[in-house]
Amino acid sequence: MSAELAVEDLVKQFAPGIRPAVDNVSFLVPAGEIIVLLGPSGCGKTTTLRMVAGLERPTGGTIAIGGRMVARAATGDFVAAQHREVGMVFQSYAVWPHMTVHENVAYPLKHRRLARSEIATKVAQALELVGLEDYAKRSVTALSGGQMQRVALARALVYQPKLLLLDEPLSNLDAKLRLRLRDDLRRIIKETGVTALYVTHDQSEAVVLGDRIGVMRDGKLLQLSDPVSLYNRPADLFVANFTGASNMLDGVVDGGGAIRLADGTRLPASLAADARDGAAAVVAIRPENLELHPPGVNAHGLYPGRIAAERFHGTQTVYSVDALGTRLEIVEGGTVPRFAVGDHVAVALPADQCRVFTGTAADRSGIDAEARVEA
Ligand SMILES: Nc1ncnc2c1ncn2[C@@H]1O[C@H](COP(=O)(O)OP(=O)(O)O)[C@@H](O)[C@H]1O
Ligand SMILES: [Mg+2]
């Protein structure tokens, strides 16, 4: 029942002469896989999803669901949303307030004129799947936000769609509910086996939910990879930064195997063969991958620094550290902070955790403005 989704060269230009909201995006979701589109606000996630749903007409490219062409811009072929057999869950809890939980979930089946007994069985199964089997007779208005989203999910799944589309379904929930439903969502989607396209601006959601994650910026799909590759082999500085490699050190390529930073420090780095000597370079590293040591430790690859700020988060501490001519953010796990403001420290940058991007200095300003807002 679940179907492959094939999106090719998809374009949406809302008006002539303006930048396309979706700019030549291609991806393939095999049946049963969850793909997450991740990116900052305005990058084209919702527009992509709405085109797959049939709520928006592409101005370029094709969309096929289960091998059936549902949109082809060149010929104007377009299958309406209600004939695409897709389930949808949105940010707002699109549940009907005057109905009970059962009635909400049964609605799509009634619409399809199923027998009463069959409706009862399917609704019971869907409610059990989302953990609301004891709530069938309640009014939806008596539910929490998280429970309302579970109702919306049950309603989207009850008629066994070929494809499930979710647009930031957790963003209206408070932090605790968001984490609970996030973890449940993947289990529920996998239990049904439905193919899913999920869009979010939240990297932690993307990582927990996605079999693969596609990072979008300005309408373009920059990288589509499994979460581990995305975090460890980001294709460019934007992806690195957006997935949390927030420390970025500016420098220049200095000989074969090193970057010279602004303060003169030479950092060993593995560089692409074509990296030109003197070319601008940025070293990106995650706050969790930098290491702090007490001062005086004088091993190779340690750089002196000083704690400028310290934020205790309960199970980890986030330090701002002045080192290498810049301010680094460093996260240490554990419930007891090891350093205080003003302490001298030694900072290690594990070479295998540093990602070097050359010729990207110009890109950086855009990233600071864009990606940080969402962090
Ligand atoms: N109906 C519309 N008419 C004109 N522009 C739109 C419309 N919908 C979205 N856009 C524009 O398309 C771009 C992408 O929007 P959207 O897909 O909603 O991004 P995201 O979901 O990633 O935040 C934005 O610049 C937005 O302003
Ligand atoms: Mg959106």
Residue 157: which residues within 8 A CB-CB, separation 6 or more?
A: 87, 126, 129, 130, 164, 188, 192, 194
CB 84 within 8 A of CB 124: no
Report the nearest-CA residue for atom 18 of ligand 1.
Answer: 46
pTM of the model: 0.89
Report the nearest-CA residue for atom 4 of ligand 1.
Answer: 14
Closest ligand relative to 18 C-alpha: 1
Closest ligand relative to 42 C-alpha: 1
Q: Which atom of ligand 1 is nearest to the CA of 167?
A: 21
* Residue 327 DSSP symbol: E
- Ligand 1 centroid to Cα of residue 44, in Å, is 6
Residue 124: which residues within 8 A CB-CB, separation 6 or more?
A: 133, 136
Average pLDDT, the chain: 91
- What pLDDT band is residue 37 in, cutting at 50, 70 and 90? very high
- Ligand 1 centroid to Cα of residue 21, in Å, is 6
- Ligand 2 centroid to Cα of residue 342, in Å, is 43
Does the pLDDT at position 199 exceed 90? yes
- Ligand 1 centroid to Cα of residue 105, in Å, is 30
CB 222 within 8 A of CB 59: no
What is the C-alpha separation between 206 and 239, in angstroms, rounded? Answer: 13
- Ligand 1 centroid to Cα of residue 34, in Å, is 23
pLDDT tens per residue, range 69-99? 999 999 999 999 999 999 999 888 788 888 9
Closest ligand relative to 10 C-alpha: 1
Domain borders along the chain are 5-232, 247-286+352-375, 291-348
Report the nearest-CA residue for atom 8 of ligand 1.
Answer: 47
How many Cβ atoms are within 10 Å of 294's Cβ, its own excluded? 11
Q: Which atom of ligand 1 is nearest to the CA of 37?
A: 22
Identical fold at 5-232 and 291-348? no
Residue 66: which residues within 8 A CB-CB, separation 6 or more?
A: 3, 4, 31, 162
Does the pLDDT at position 362 exceed 60? no
The DSSP result for 264-315, as a single string, is SPEEE----TTPPTT-EEEEEE-TTT-EEE-TT---TTEEEEEEEEEEE-SS
Report the nearest-CA residue for atom 14 of ligand 1.
Answer: 44
Both tokens assigned to 30: 């095999």
Question: Considering only the top CATH level, what class is 5-232?
Answer: alpha beta
Higher-confidence residue of 294 and 369: namely 294
Which residues have C-beta atoms less than 6 Å from ligand 1? 14, 21, 39, 41-47
pLDDT of residue 366: 53
β-strand partners of 195? 163
- Ligand 1 centroid to Cα of residue 340, in Å, is 45
Q: How many residues does the structure list for the chain?
A: 375
- Ligand 1 centroid to Cα of residue 15, in Å, is 11
> What CATH number is given for 291-348 in this structure?
2.40.50.140
pLDDT of residue 111: 79
CA distances for 1 relative to 78, 192, 195, angstroms: 22, 10, 9
CB 34 within 8 A of CB 189: yes
Closest ligand relative to 41 C-alpha: 1
Does the pLDDT at position 369 exceed 60? no
Pick from 93, 99, 90, 94: nearest CA to 123: 99
Report the nearest-CA residue for atom 7 of ligand 1.
Answer: 14
Q: Which atom of ligand 1 is nearest to the CA of 199?
A: 21
pLDDT of residue 372: 40
Q: Which atom of ligand 1 is nearest to the CA of 19?
A: 25
Closest ligand relative to 45 C-alpha: 1
Q: Which of these ranges, 253-262, 264-273, 356-365, has the smallest mean pLDDT?
A: 356-365
Both tokens assigned to 239: 């992806």
What is the C-alpha separation between 89 and 167, in angstroms, rounded? Answer: 6
Does the pLDDT at position 274 exceed 80? no
Element (H, E) at 372: helix 361-374
pLDDT of residue 169: 93
- Ligand 1 centroid to Cα of residue 23, in Å, is 12
